[in-house]
Amino acid sequence: MTGTPPGGDLAAGVLARVGELLSGLSAADVAALAQGRARLVVVPVAPAGDAADRPAAPTPATLLPAAPVQPTPSGVDLDAASATLATMAHRRDGTAYLTPWSIRDLRALAARLGLRGVGGLRKAELVERLVDRTIGFRVASAAVRAR
């Protein structure tokens, strides 16, 4: 898509391009965007006539590089866990998913999600904070938007 879309609605054109970009991302990348751990970057692209004068535009892979999989010492893949939590619609599902985890893995996930001050929490409190940070935030946001 180049230029202004038919009808001149520039915002609709931008949203269409963002939709195309998001549909090509992995579930983990979309979850990272939703949780504020990643961001979209606007990179100008050279017009067709200037292509020889400017370097090539970065590919999507250089804009949002896939983070290396970093399992915890017990083997839990934190990226996959974040993506799994991002797909859940109910707090009870997140609680059931995280309850069997060790406290060490829960703290590693909390660090990955940017939660601070969780070192002294009991396991049940930590699970609740993680669920609130992921599923609870999304559910509350949807409820506010529905009003």
Q: Helix-strand-coil percent breakdown of the chain, rounded to 5?
A: 55, 0, 45
Q: Same structural domain for residues 82 and 142?
A: yes
- The answer to whether residue 72 sits within a structural domain is no
Q: Same structural domain for residues 106 and 141?
A: yes
Q: Same structural domain for residues 83 and 134?
A: yes
Can you give the residue range of the structural domain that contains 132?
Answer: 78-146
H helices, E strands: number in the chain = 8, 0
Instruction: Look at the chain and report how many structural domains it folds into.
Output: 2
- The answer to whether residue 39 sits within a structural domain is yes
Overall pTM surpassing 0.75 (yes/no): no
- Report how far residue 12's alpha carbon sits from residue 126's, in angstroms, rounded to the nearest whole number: 41
Q: Same structural domain for residues 96 and 55?
A: no
Q: Same structural domain for residues 107 and 133?
A: yes
- Summarised one tens digit per residue, pLDDT across range 71-90 is 566 778 888 888 888 888 88
Site of tokens 């504020």: 36
- Report how far residue 75's alpha carbon sits from residue 89's, in angstroms, rounded to the nearest whole number: 25
DSSP state of 102: -
* pLDDT string in tens for the chain (147-residue length): 455 555 568 888 878 887 887 777 777 777 777 776 776 666 555 555 544 454 444 444 434 444 454 556 677 888 888 888 888 888 899 999 999 999 999 999 999 888 888 889 999 999 999 999 888 877 666 666 666
